[in-house]
Structures are given as structure tokens and as C-alpha cells.
């Protein structure tokens, strides 16, 4: 409607200038190329929800590659990458932001969970292949229709009624990652799953559709969830829906319920992940790792967490404790410190390390006449221990103790 178009023009007018400039460049390129172009997907959804977002997705009726190449003339600092196989192109800007251009196409799946195959089709089909009605709206950017909403599947109604609704009832079978996306969007916006969608989700989980999903794609979706502000709510929904059980094969004691929910917003992804695992025993964690494909940093932190937790169960000398705690990544230590069994030990190690105020280093030892070689590292370790144990408290005492060792060695 005319009123709706004016509303959208107002929303666009309120966007940051860089984004408005891009939309205008897209409009002018469409004019030049004589094709239709639309803003689609999450950006449209979030624009109508008044939540500003970054990622711009465009659909061109015609060749997306040709359009993106033409658009590049108006984006001198952008870098163009084309994915011919998928009929898409991406322009990346120096600040890391990017825009995606797709051509109208029909993706079909040769088997559930496979990567999509691409064929040419029209905008309506492109929108129909999307996951939920709220993600299936488009805004026309051609000059004479600039700001008109294209909403074939009731996306605006569902936004108003706060509903996550699929477009057709084999949606979750076509692409099981949509089950995780349904949970993610529903918890992010506090929308309900529409009745049929919810029932289809449960049916799909029970029918074992997840087994068609690759570990890589599952992990990608899970990590998107862990990056969300409300990942705890999403985690609880993954458990209560039975999705986690269907994927991991047994019940794991996930930790998505803890008191200090306010600080978890500032936690890194790795810390959030370790916190979620923190109630499981080490064997369970190792088993669970077979069902996800973590990047090196997450995998390393998880293994460090498991090893360190096992080591802390054994009696340790102060120097062993120091080596464990003060060399481990901060997130790992923080999660372990929240475990009642280890909090005292870790506090002890951290407190001891605060006493350390080393003024000597390898160079200073050389200047004191100590020979180059492994002995230097050993002396530095012993100095560190002396600080830890409180045997020295000043730079003077530190120098003194080293001289004493050197003299004994010389004798």
C-alpha cells in the first residue's frame, strides 16, 4: 500500500548514511542495467522491527554476477568475489562489512542436508525457498517502485503477530538447519513458533532428519547460537525440543541455567561454550566432541579445560598449580574457578601469582655474569617460585637470592 511504502521510505531515511548510499548505488545500477533489484531477507525483517543491522542482501532478477560487476563501479573501495556455482556475488568493504548479491534462482536439494543446486527462476520462487515468512520479504529498489514491500507469504502479518512460520511443511526436511534457525529466531525476538511449524519441527526431530545433516553445518548453526545474546534461552530450547538428544544421541548435562546471567553477555564464545559443558564429566565431553567440528581455538580450549580439571583433582605443589593456572587461557580458568571443587585452589594460584614482581630477566642474568644456556631459564623459574612462596618480596631480595645461588654453584 501507499502508506506502507511511505513507512518504509521513512525507515530507510533513518538508516546510517553509508547504508543509504549503498541502497542508492544499487538503485542507480539497476536503472543502468535495466533489471529489477530487491533488498531481501534478514535486513528487511530487522528494518521492519526497528532493529538496525549490517548485512545487506540483494536479489537481482537476471544475472547477479553482471549486476555486481556494474555495481562495483560505484563502490571504489569494495572487493568483489563471485561464486558462479551458486549464482551469487559478494562485495567486501575495508571495514569488514559486506553486501551479497544473488540472482533469482531456485535452489533444490539432491538429498536432505546437501548443498543446494541452483537454477534460474523468478523473485517469488527465490523468496519461497527461504526459511520463514518473516525472512521472505523483499523491498523493491527500482526507482519507480523504490520502497515497495513484496510480501507473498505473510511475513508482515507474522512479524506483527510475533510468529515464526515456515513456508511449506517439508521445509525442515529440505534443510534441517532450519530447525536450529527456528529456535534461534524464536528466542532472539521472543516470537512463538506457529502451531503447524512447531508440530513439523517435533515430527522432523523424531523422524531422524538430523542424521542427514553434516557435522560441519550443525556446528556452524550451533556456534551462531552461542554468539547470540540470549544463547542460554536457545540452549534450553535445544534441550526441551529434544533436538540436542536427537543429534548427540544421549542426554548430556548441559549448563544453560546459571545465576549470573547478566555477565555472560560479555563472555567470549569460548567461555560460553566451556560454561555450557562445565557440568559434564570429562568422558562425556570427549564423546560430545565427536559430534561437533570445532575450530582449533575452541577445540584446544576444550581440551585444556578437560585436562586441567583432571589435573586439579590430584594433589599439586604450588609450582605445579602455578604452571597449570597461570599459563592457561583466561576463559578456561574463569570457568574452572566457578566450580566449587576448584575455586579455592585457583584463587590460591592467582593470589600467589600476584605476589610475583620479577625485575630480573634473561638479559639481567647475563649481565650478572651467568653463562648463556638452559641454566638461565632454570634460574628464572626458581626466582618465580621464590616470589610465589613469599621467600622474596623486593627487587633487592630477588638479586640477593640469585647471587647466593650463583656463589653456591661456583663453589
Would you state the cell numbers that stand for residue 60, as one nine-digit string?
A: 537481482
Closest CA to 99 of 151, 150, 39: 39
Which of residues 41 and 235 has its CB atom nearest to ligand ATP in the complex? 41
Nearer to ligand ATP, 47 or 285 (CB): 47
Of 280, 342, 335, 334, the residue nearest 313 (C-alpha): 342
**DSSP result, 325-354:** HHHS-HHHHHHHHTSTTTHHHHHHHHHHHH
Residue from the set 29, 36, 133, 177 that interacts with ligand ATP by CB under 6 A:
177
d(CA 164, CA 142): 29
- 178 lines the binding site for ligand ATP (CB under 6 A): yes
In angstroms, give the least distance from the CB of 252 to ligand ATP.
25
Q: How far apart are CA 360 and CA 366, in angstroms?
A: 10
Angstrom distance (rounded) from CA 35 to CA 60: 7
Residue numbers 57-76 binding ligand ATP by CB under 6 A: 57
| Least distance between ligand ATP and beta carbon 102 (Å) | 9
Name which position in 12, 65, 130, 172 contacts ligand ATP (CB under 6 A): 130
> Within positions 336 to 375, which residues make up the interface with ligand ATP, using CB under 6 A?
none
Residue number closest to ligand ATP, CB atom = 42
By the rule CB under 6 A, 105 interacts with ligand ATP: no
Shortest Cβ 86–ligand ATP spacing (Å): 12
Q: What angle do CA 287, 288, 290 make, to 5 degrees?
A: 75
Asked if 42 is part of the footprint of ligand ATP (rule: CB under 6 A), the reply reads: yes
Among 38, 39, 41, 148, binds ligand ATP (CB under 6 A): 41
With CB under 6 A as the contact rule, the residue among 55, 119, 120, 251 that binds ligand ATP is 55
Residue 148 neighbours by CB distance under 10 Å: 19
Q: Interface with ligand ATP includes 135 (CB under 6 A)?
A: yes
Interaction of residue 131 with ligand ATP, rule CB under 6 A: yes
Asked if 187 interacts with ligand ATP (CB under 6 A), we say no
Helix (H), strand (E) counts: the chain? 21, 11
- Please report how close the Cβ of residue 210 comes to ligand ATP at its closest, in angstroms: 14
Residues 6+ apart with CB under 8 A from 411: none
Distance CA 287, CA 2 (A): 57
- Joined together, the cell numbers standing for residue 40 give 531481501
Residue ranges that bind ligand ATP, judged by CB under 6 A: 41-42, 55, 57, 130-131, 135, 175, 177-178, 181
Amino acid at each position: 500500500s501507499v502508506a506502507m511504502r511511505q513507512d518504509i521510505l521513512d525507515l530507510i531515511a533513518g538508516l546510517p548514511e553509508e547504508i543509504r548510499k549503498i541502497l542508492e548505488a544499487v538503485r542507480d545500477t539497476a536503472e543502468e542495467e535495466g533489471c529489477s533489484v530487491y533488498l531481501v531477507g534478514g535486513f528487511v525483517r530487522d528494518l521492519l522491527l526497528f532493529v538496525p543491522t549490517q548485512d545487506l542482501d540483494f536479489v537481482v532478477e537476471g544475472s547477479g554476477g553482471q549486476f555486481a560487476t556494474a555495481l562495483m563501479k560505484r563502490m571504489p573501495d569494495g572487493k568483489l568475489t563471485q561464486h558462479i556455482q551458486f549464482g551469487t556475488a559478494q562485495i567486501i568493504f575495508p571495514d569488514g562489512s559486506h553486501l551479497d548479491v544473488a540472482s533469482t534462482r531456485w535452489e533444490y536439494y539432491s538429498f536432505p542436508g546437501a548443498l543446494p543446486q541452483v537454477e534460474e527462476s523468478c523473485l517469488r520462487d527465490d523468496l519461497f525457498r527461504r526459511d520463514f515468512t518473516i525472512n521472505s520479504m523483499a523491498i523493491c529498489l527500482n526507482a519507480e517502485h523504490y520502497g515497495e514491500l513484496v510480501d507473498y507469504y505473510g511475513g508482515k502479518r507474522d512479524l506483527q503477530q510475533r510468529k515464526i512460520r515456515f513456508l511449506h511443511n517439508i521445509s525442515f526436511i529440505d534443510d534441517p538447519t532450519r530447525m536450529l534457525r527456528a529456535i534461534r529466531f524464536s528466542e532472539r525476538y521472543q516470537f512463538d513458533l506457529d502451531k503447524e511449524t512447531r508440530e513439523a519441527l517435533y515430527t522432523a526431530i523424531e523422524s531422524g532428519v538430523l542424521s542427514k545433516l553434516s557435522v560441519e553445518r550443525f556446528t556452524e548453526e550451533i556456534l551462531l547460537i552461542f554468539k547470540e545474546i540470549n544463547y542460554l534461552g536457545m540452549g534450553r530450547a535445544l534441550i526441551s525440543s529434544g533436538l540436542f538428544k536427537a543429534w548427540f544421541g544421549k542426554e548430556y548435562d548441559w549448563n544453560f541455567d546459571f545465576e549470573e546471567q547478566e555477565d555472560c553477555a560479555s563472555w567470549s564464545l569460548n567461555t560460553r561454550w566451556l560454561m555450557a559443558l562445565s557440568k559434564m564429566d570429562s568422558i562425556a565431553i570427549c564423546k560430545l566432541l565427536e559430534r561437533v567440528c570445532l575450530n582449533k581455538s575452541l577445540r584446544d580450549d576444550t581440551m585444556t579445560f578437560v585436562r586441567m580439571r583432571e589435573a586439579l583433582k590430584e594433589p599439586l605443589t604450588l609450582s605445579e598449580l602455578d604452571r597449570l593456572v597461570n599459563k592457561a587461557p583466561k576463559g578456561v580458568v574463569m570457568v574452572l574457578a566457578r566450580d566449587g571443587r576448584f575455586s579455592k585452589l585457583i584463587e590460591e594460584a592467582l593470589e600467589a601469582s600476584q605476589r610475583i614482581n620479577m625485575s630480573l630477566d634473561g638479559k639481567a642474568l647475563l649481565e650478572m655474569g651467568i653463562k648463556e644456556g638452559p641454566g638461565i631459564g632454570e634460574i628464572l623459574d626458581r626466582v618465580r617460585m621464590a616470589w610465589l612462596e613469599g621467600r622474596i618480596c623486593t627487587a633487592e631480595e630477588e638479586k640477593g637470592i640469585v647471587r647466593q645461588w650463583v656463589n653456591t654453584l661456583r663453589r
